[in-house]
Amino acid sequence: MELTFLHFYPDLMNLYGSYANVTVLQRLLERLGHTVNVKMIAPGDAADFANADFVYMGAGTERRQKFALDDFRRCADDVKAAARDGVAMLFAGSAMEILGQSVTDADGVTVSGIALAPFETVQRAKRIVGDVYGHTELFPEAVVGFMNKSGVVTGVDTPLLNALDMGHGNEKEYGPEGWRNANVYASELTGPLLVKNPRILEHLAAAVLTRKGLTLPDEWPVDRWARKGYDVTARELAARRAKT
């Protein structure tokens, strides 16, 4: 089956190796025998949501997030329609904030988001950083990553991670992190998220395949390096948590 990805602003929203979220999802689907066509969308480019199977945007600086949002507002209706239609999406890093009602920068200037999600973001001058070890309701294993953001996100109704044992969530330390509504995933965790967490990668791949009416594999192909890398990071973070 031929699958189409829309990768928004790969040269603008490109911090923390974000692009690798797309790369690993592409490779997993290819290993399952599908053909993946990734369309890179720069500001101003046309984007065909009607034929999209996965929509992605990665992390950017606060200035670049504003430049991205200035362009992405034109896609608001299309994104909402695609979300209703069950298209799988991931908004990683500060791209998550774009989905909400508004983003207020450290100088107090507020701009509107695309209003797909109910939350609001207020950025601060002092950044929120640190390793994260948390849990999701999607699967039993811990989720690992690193938080590197400036925004405090309030009003999240359906977080991706419902509890953290270590690190900062949307609003506060140990609080819930990210947002998920059906097949739309958002998280400010770096890692990149899908590289460091093979189980979230499988869930997103499943979302893409299920919507297309394709059967899921009985067993997901194992990427041993990703799996071992996850094990080491989970072990290190658990040990760190026990110490503090």
Partner 1 sequence: MRKALAIIACKLGYFVGKLVGKGSSLPGKWALKICPDILSKVRLPSVIIAVSGSNGKTSTVEMIAAILRADGRKVIYNKEGSNQTEGVATLILTNADLSGRVRADVLLMESDERYAARTFRFFKPTHFVVTNLYRDQLTRNGHPESVYDALKPAFAPETELILNADDPLSSCFGQARDDVTWFGLNRCDFSSPAPTGVYHDGAYCPVCGGRMEYDYAHYNHIGAWRCTSCGRQRPETAYTATALDLQAGVLTIDDAVTVQLAFKSIYNVYNILAAYAVCRRVGVSAETAADVIGNYVLKNGRMQTFRLGNRHGTLLTSKHENSIAYDTNLRYVQDCGTPCAVVVIVDAVSRKYFTSETSWLWDIDFDRLNSPNVKRVILSGRYCNDLAERFAYTTLPGDKWEVIEDIPAAADALKASGDEEVYVLTCFSDRDKFLTLTEREG
Query: What is the DSSP track for 167-203?
Result: SB-SSSBTS-B-EEETTEEEE-EETTHHHH-HHHHHH
- 3-class DSSP state of 162: coil
Site membership for partner 1, residue 54 (CB under 8 A)? no
Alpha-carbon distance of 51 to 4, in angstroms, equals 7
Among 5, 8, 16, 91, binds partner 1 (CB under 8 A): 16
How near is the Cβ of 107 to partner 1 at its closest, in Å?
11
Closest Cα to residue 212, out of 83, 85, 48? 85
Report if residue 14 touches partner 1, rule: CB under 8 A. Answer: yes
Q: Which stretch binds partner 1 (CB under 8 A): 109-117, 156-164, 187-195, 207-215?
A: 187-195
How many binding residues for partner 1 (CB under 8 A)?
44
Q: Return the residue of 113, 119, 192, 200 that touches partner 1, per CB under 8 A.
A: 192
Nearest to 82 by CA among 70, 94, 90, 93: 90
- What character string, x for contact with partner 1 (CB under 8 A) and - otherwise, covers 113-152? ------------x-x-x-x------------x-x-x-x--
Is the Cβ–Cβ distance between 145 and 197 less than 8 Å? yes
Q: What are phi and psi of 185, to 5 degrees?
A: -110, 140
Contact 143, 190 (CB under 8 A): no
Print the binding letters for residues 218-237 with partner 1: x by CB under 8 A, - otherwise: -----x-xx-xx-xxx--xx
The CA–CA distances, whole Å, from 215 to 44, 123, 207, 219 equal 36, 42, 11, 12
> Contact with partner 1 (CB under 8 A): which of 49, 67, 174, 220?
67
Q: Which residues bind partner 1 (CB under 8 A)?
A: 11-12, 14-17, 19-20, 23-24, 27, 42-43, 61-64, 66-67, 70, 125, 127, 129, 131, 144, 146, 148, 150, 190-192, 195-196, 223, 225-226, 228-229, 231-233, 236-237, 240
